[in-house]
Structure 1
Amino acid sequence: MDEQEQRIGDVIEGIAVGRFHWLLVATVGGTWAAMSISILAISFTLPTFIDIWNLSGLTAGVLGSASLLGMLVGNTVGGWYADRVGRKRTLVIAIVTFSVFTALTGFAVGLYSAIGLRFLTGIGLGGALVSGTSYLAEHLPSHVRGRYITYLEASYSVGAIAVVALAWAVLSVLGGPDGTVGGVAAWRVFFGAGIVPLGLAVVAVRVLPPSPYFLARQGRTAAATAALEAIAVRNRVEPPSVSGPWRVVEPDEMGYRRLLTPELRGTTVLLASLWVVVNVAFYGIFTWLPDTVAAAGYTDDLYRFLFVVTLFQLLGQLGAAYLIELVGRKWTLGGFTILGGAGTLLFAAAIPGAGVDIGAARTTVFLLGLFVMGFAVLGAWAVLYAYTSEVFPTEVRSTGLGLTGSVGKVAAVAGPVLFGALSQFGYLVTLAPVAVSLFLAGLALLLRGAETKGETLL
């Protein structure tokens, strides 16, 4: 680690957590909460689309995966862009993109326009995920960094609870028997609510400074100093004393090629594997969850049931936020991933039609498996963002997040499609490989992963 890198890290470590950090977490966390409507909206409207457009299971799966394919592009391009032009600028552009195209989905006139609009929404979502995580990580001292980044996914679950309430209000209560709100199809109104997060882009532009790590890596000494001073002033502490000049990153130290060097190759492969299994588990299962819950006989209490599931997801993320600073990133992530595999297997075995005879215990096992799966998979996902943002150095932090996340999104795109196509053979056949993959990925991390708890960012 060179002198400049150590100095920036020391300055960040020396600024006490205060008003700026709370505003930062609230803004980025608000973005995560807002993204939940863009991501989860398709889960609540897919049954309507199947009905009005006469979609097959495979076609519905493609529509459900369209935003994930966009997120693949957004992760890859957004990570590359954030490492070259800045985390803040990328985050603002991404928020505007996913907000606008979520709302425009309400104007879809058929399957193909809906797929296109969902794809464009996903590009914004992917860009926000990588730039927001890097931006937050680079402003936090090590003793709270893991916990605060984990809170991002807890913010997502808070948003998901709001989405369940919004879906119930718009699609069920206001929509009524004819499925319209004021003469407009309820699903169009539901998507239209996605424009609200534009306000977060305004907040980010007006009150958040560029990342000092990013500025320092570009050799912009004065701008990096000003960004650090702005943090201190907002927290009402003495501005730090920093000096330069700082070196500019050489072109061959940036980009995807760096991620495949001997220094980072093993880390890249391990993290990509974790992103794959967590994405498949989450998107493959939860995109189809309303349909699956209905198949299990919970149609009458669907929204109440999904609300409880989301609460368990939030508890998993909060539990992960506590454990990540207590036992470390590796052990928390590995343990939650393995637990997610166990929950998935229980859930799959108890779904009617799975071919497993568990008698009167079916309901208990179904609920236990689903709640454990949601608790563990969402907890693992929360830690995965923190862990990935810490293991890659500044010059490829967003690129590393983008690449590993994009590999995961390839699997996520396939998840809903495969789930829809294979569910006819039984849920156990569909989900058992997911459970085994979660277990193996968690075990690999425990055996091969590095611990980043308490480490200053490189």
Structure 2
Amino acid sequence: MKNDTTKWRVLGGGFAAYTFDAMDLVLLAMAFQPIMNDLGLTRSEAGLLATATLIGVGISSIVMGWYSDNYGRRKAMLWSLISFSLLTMAIAFASSWLEILILRFLAGLGLGGLWGVIAAYIAETWPPAQRGRAAAFVMSSFPVGVGLASFFAGKIIPMWGWRALFLTAGIALVVAIYVWFFVPESEAWKTQRDARLRGDGGQSVEKVSVKEIFADGMARNTILATLVSAFALTAYWGPTTWLPTYLVKERGLSVADMGMFMTILSVGMFIGYNAFGWIADFIGKRNALVLSLAGSAVMLAVYALTENPATLLWMGPAYAFFMAFVGLMGSYYGELFPTRMRTTGSGFCFNVGRGVSAFAPFILGGIATAYSLQTAILICAVPFAIAAVLTAFLPRTEGPSPQPAVVAAASRS
């Protein structure tokens, strides 16, 4: 009964936490156009604000993954929630481009930590037969967060301006209170911590370090998974950062209509996340990931070439349906590594890839200046396709539960 209660509390806490992680990540994209107008920024300068966020996210993958594996999933989740909430709220009071740049980088240090922590939490509290669906459900909170950001932007910016929009980040503090009181520490993590402290012969062993995910036959999986993340997230964050601006500037939508378009797109993404959770449990996580990435490549190209606003409204959720790969990576990457280094390994692969993708908003801003946002978005179908091909070279992980203690090698076929 305790295990059942724990897994549901982890599911609820993880869903709520990742909802506001996603919301805070995309709030800036929703406010790009009014910020550019207010501060007189070019597209390249605005793109650097998103780039600073994602660089912070990439660094966070290493720092927070190490912290989670050594000091606990719960503490890492709390630190992430509190830091990105307060730092995103502070943007409401920023007076210059440089201040926003610094605040976004610092907020990124908190935003990047949650993904790996939640992925590890799910892998350690849910049984193998349900793990794919549980991870997909939790990660499906990402489009919920995008939908919230879109809704708030459409309602708040026209009435109170872009600064008021960033104050909504404070809602994440409520989730931190829930985690503090109701989400227990992972029993699997406590077991491996106790084993680590005892060691063989009663002696303690070293704390987890990043070099371990490149040792004992795990380097191949680590490198491949990181490359998959880099290509997939470059293809994701480039268009996602500029999509609200694209809809307003090149498709002629009002800010309120843009918010509605993005909200409907998020519904398609939410459905896709949960549908691919079932698909992953049926055909395997790796195969589902390949399908998601390949589908994203095709549908992004179709979406970019669609010009009629009415058609564009419904093509958005069709494209977003296939963007379930973030949730799939959560459950799949977590099974590539043993418990001892699960957050470090999965977080490294995902968030270092996200750090590499940090330059996508800036580069797409340059391409858009030289050509158009439509051209820039269309180009991003290519890295989606590359990510799908690379994923096919990673191993299948269907089988027993993730290892509860230190394991020499994590690659399985």
Determine if the TM-score, normalized by the shorter chain, exceeds 0.5: yes
Q: Which residue of 2 is the match for residue 322 of structure 1?
A: 278
Percentage of pairs with the same residue:
21
What secondary structure, in the 3-state scheme, does the structure 1 residue paired with 2:29 have? helix
Does the aligned pair in 2 maintain the 1:315–1:375 contact within 8 Å?
A: yes
Question: Per the alignment, do residues 111 and 323 of structure 1 end up closer, same or farther by CA in structure 2, a change over 3 Å counting?
Answer: same
Does the aligned pair in 2 maintain the 1:219–1:246 contact within 8 Å?
A: no
Which consecutive unaligned segments of at least 5 residues does structure 1 have? 1-14, 181-185, 224-243, 352-361
Q: In the alignment, which of 83, 106, 121 is matched to residue 120 of structure 1?
A: 106
Q: CA deviation at 1:263?
A: 0.9
Inter-partner Cα distance in structure 1 for 2:259 and 2:313: 15
Q: CA deviation at 1:454?
A: 4.1
Question: Per the alignment, do residues 34 and 247 of structure 1 end up closer, same or farther by CA in structure 2, a change over 3 Å counting?
Answer: farther
Does the aligned pair in 2 maintain the 1:138–1:213 contact within 8 Å?
A: yes
What secondary structure, in the 3-state scheme, does the structure 2 residue paired with 1:71 have? helix
Where do 1:383-398 residues align within 5 Å? 383-398=328-343
Where do 1:123-134 residues align within 5 Å? 123-134=109-120
Q: Note if 1:335 corresponds to 2:291.
A: yes
Q: CA deviation at 1:110?
A: 1.0
Q: Which residue of 2 is the match for residue 47 of structure 1?
A: 33
Q: CA deviation at 1:368?
A: 6.6
Q: Note if 1:278 corresponds to 2:278.
A: no
Inter-partner Cα distance in structure 1 for 2:194 and 2:3: 26
Q: CA deviation at 1:432?
A: 4.9
Does the aligned pair in 2 maintain the 1:31–1:95 contact within 8 Å?
A: yes
Q: In the alignment, which of 402, 410, 425 is matched to residue 371 of structure 2?
A: 425
Does the aligned pair in 1 maintain the 2:232–2:387 contact within 8 Å?
A: no
Q: Which residue of 2 is the match for residue 294 of structure 1?
A: 248
Q: CA deviation at 1:453?
A: 2.8
Q: Which residue of 1 is the match for residue 174 of structure 2?
A: 199
Q: In the alignment, which of 176, 181, 187 is matched to residue 212 of structure 1?
A: 187
Q: Which residue of 1 is the match for residue 395 of structure 2?
A: 450
Q: Which residue of 1 is the match for residue 344 of structure 2?
A: 399
TM-score normalized with structure 1 length: 0.81
Inter-partner Cα distance in structure 1 for 2:291 and 2:356: 22
Q: Which residue of 2 is the match for residue 357 of structure 1?
A: none
What amino acid is the match of 1:276?
A
What amino acid is the match of 2:222?
T
Q: Which residue of 1 is the match for residue 206 of structure 2?
A: 251
Q: Note if 1:34 corresponds to 2:20.
A: yes
What amino acid is the match of 1:251?
E
Q: CA deviation at 1:387?
A: 0.6
Give deviations 1:162-219, integer Å, cap 9, x for gaps.
22222222112xx1xxxx3xxxxx3222111111211222222222222222222222
Does the aligned pair in 2 maintain the 1:323–1:332 contact within 8 Å?
A: yes
Deviates more, 1:418-427 or 1:75-84: 418-427
Provide the aligned length of Structure 1 versus Structure 2: 400
Does the aligned pair in 2 maintain the 1:133–1:385 contact within 8 Å?
A: yes
Inter-partner Cα distance in structure 1 for 2:176 and 2:168: 16
Question: Per the alignment, do residues 16 and 274 of structure 1 end up closer, same or farther by CA in structure 2, a change over 3 Å counting?
Answer: farther
Does the aligned pair in 2 maintain the 1:80–1:402 contact within 8 Å?
A: no
Q: Note if 1:171 corresponds to 2:117.
A: no
What amino acid is the match of 2:71?
V
Does the aligned pair in 1 maintain the 2:93–2:163 contact within 8 Å?
A: yes
Q: Which residue of 2 is the match for residue 90 of structure 1?
A: 76
Q: Which residue of 2 is the match for residue 434 of structure 1?
A: 380
Q: CA deviation at 1:85?
A: 1.2
Does the aligned pair in 1 maintain the 2:65–2:347 contact within 8 Å?
A: yes
Q: Which residue of 2 is the match for residue 233 of structure 1?
A: none
Q: Note if 1:77 corresponds to 2:22.
A: no
Does the aligned pair in 2 maintain the 1:347–1:367 contact within 8 Å?
A: no
Where do 1:130-141 residues align within 5 Å? 130-141=116-127
What secondary structure, in the 3-state scheme, does the structure 2 residue paired with 1:218 have? helix
Q: CA deviation at 1:295?
A: 3.8
Q: Which residue of 2 is the match for residue 107 of structure 1?
A: 93
Question: Per the alignment, do residues 169 and 139 of structure 1 end up closer, same or farther by CA in structure 2, a change over 3 Å counting?
Answer: same
What secondary structure, in the 3-state scheme, does the structure 1 residue paired with 2:93 have? coil
Give deviations 1:313-356, integer Å, cap 9, x for gaps.
112112111211111101110111011111122233346xxxxx
Q: CA deviation at 1:247?
A: 8.1
Q: CA deviation at 1:246?
A: 10
- RMSD over equivalenced CA pairs, Å: 2.6
What amino acid is the match of 1:340?
S
Q: CA deviation at 1:153?
A: 2.0
Q: Which residue of 1 is the match for residue 353 of structure 2?
A: 408
Q: CA deviation at 1:272?
A: 0.6
Inter-partner Cα distance in structure 2 for 1:255 and 1:157: 32
Inter-partner Cα distance in structure 1 for 2:224 and 2:347: 14
Which consecutive unaligned segments of at least 5 residues does structure 2 have? 404-413
Q: Which residue of 2 is the match for residue 151 of structure 1?
A: 137
- Which of 1 and 2 has greater Rg? 1
Does the aligned pair in 1 maintain the 2:268–2:317 contact within 8 Å?
A: yes
Does the aligned pair in 2 maintain the 1:46–1:64 contact within 8 Å?
A: no
Q: CA deviation at 1:437?
A: 2.3
Deviates more, 1:368-377 or 1:104-113: 368-377
Question: Per the alignment, do residues 383 and 295 of structure 1 end up closer, same or farther by CA in structure 2, a change over 3 Å counting?
Answer: same
